[in-house]
Amino acid sequence: MSHILVTGGAGFIGANFVLNWFGTGATDGIVNVDKLTYAGNRKTIASLDGDARHVFSQTDICDRAALDQFLATYKPRAVVHFAAESHVDRSIHGPGDFIQTNIVGTFTLLEAVRAYWSALDEEARAAFRFLHVSTDEVFGSLEADDPQFSETTAYAPNSPYSASKAASDHLVRAYHHTYGLPVLTTNCSNNYGPYHFPEKLIPLIIANALGGKSLPVYGDGMNVRDWLYVGDHCAAIREVLARGRVGETYNVGGWNEKTNLDVVHTLCDLLDELRPKAAGSYRDQITFVKDRPGHDRRYAIDARKLECELGWKPAETFETGMRKTVQWYLDNQGWVQDVMSGEYRNWVAKQYAA
């Protein structure tokens, strides 16, 4: 069986990618490497336990010896690199982890992959791909009337998180231009969907609404993001991996620019419909809080290159994707409660105690 190596495959986007990969009938196995920090949830991919196509290892991408071993043992035809610290608020309060994982980790992975790739035969070298998954936040902030981010927009990161991701993007680019490593980079907008860690806006609002807590909205709530359903993002990554031009970057967006307040209102209205309160609306719980330091005002992705070259465009509208997302959280309250309580971190030890 041929394999691909996936880093961060127990996190939000990575786990969705792994589950979707097998759900689409892909023939390659996956070697899934994840450090299982607070945002990595082994339980998310528990349905793959016992599946010979999926090999999981709790491994830090900064562990060069472990990476070398996986590459030598499984001889992957591609690497898809999701592993990253990704929450802006956490990067403001503790940037060190972001520098270590996003920059040092990416460098360590690139060095391991370069050594592996260099030793392949000519045909395997030509077929190999390293796909680096990044973010639109590396481009900085847009004014209301600015054009959307394109693949040629200058980098201008404004948080420790986005600066660390920008650095990783530059490393990937450099390894292509200096060493010839066949790389691909995707820069995506804000993802949402199943298995999202509930510190991020959408799952946080759903959890707080159902728990009768306040629904915190930063500043005036007018910060704009482009929202991309995670399943659409996974489909885009598969297309880029299969047919993207080596050395190129591709923006992945949902064509859904919404203010944070619009998102919260949409969630409240869906919850009013699907899980109504005894009295009143969930909108009654909205509370405006002090704005995040250096909060970027607007992100917006121009994804026309990906559509023109590879034929990808999102299958979900904002309305259909949000409805699916809210319904998933309502149907999977056990998963949410495990995460909120921290019990999910004990699950692995209990599950594999024997």
Annotated active-site positions, please? 136-137, 161
Sequence-distant (≥ 6) Cβ neighbours of residue 68 within 8 angstroms: 112, 115, 116
DSSP 3-state of 333: helix
Q: For residue 256, give the DSSP letter.
A: -
Phi and psi angles of residue 235, each rounded to the nearest 5 degrees, phi first: -65, -40
The tokens for 194 are 């199943």
Widest pairwise Cα distance in the chain: 68
Residues 183, 168: Cα–Cα separation, whole Å: 13
Q: Which amino acid is at 245?
A: R
Phi and psi angles of residue 120, each rounded to the nearest 5 degrees, phi first: -75, 160
The tokens for 111 are 């060095």
The number of angstroms, rounded, from the C-alpha of 82 to the middle of its chain's C-alpha atoms is 6
CB 216 within 8 A of CB 261: no
How far is the CA of 339 from the CAs of 49, 195, 299, in angstroms?
20, 10, 29
* Nearest C-alpha neighbor of 131 from the set 240, 251, 15, 19: 240
The tokens for 159 are 């948080």
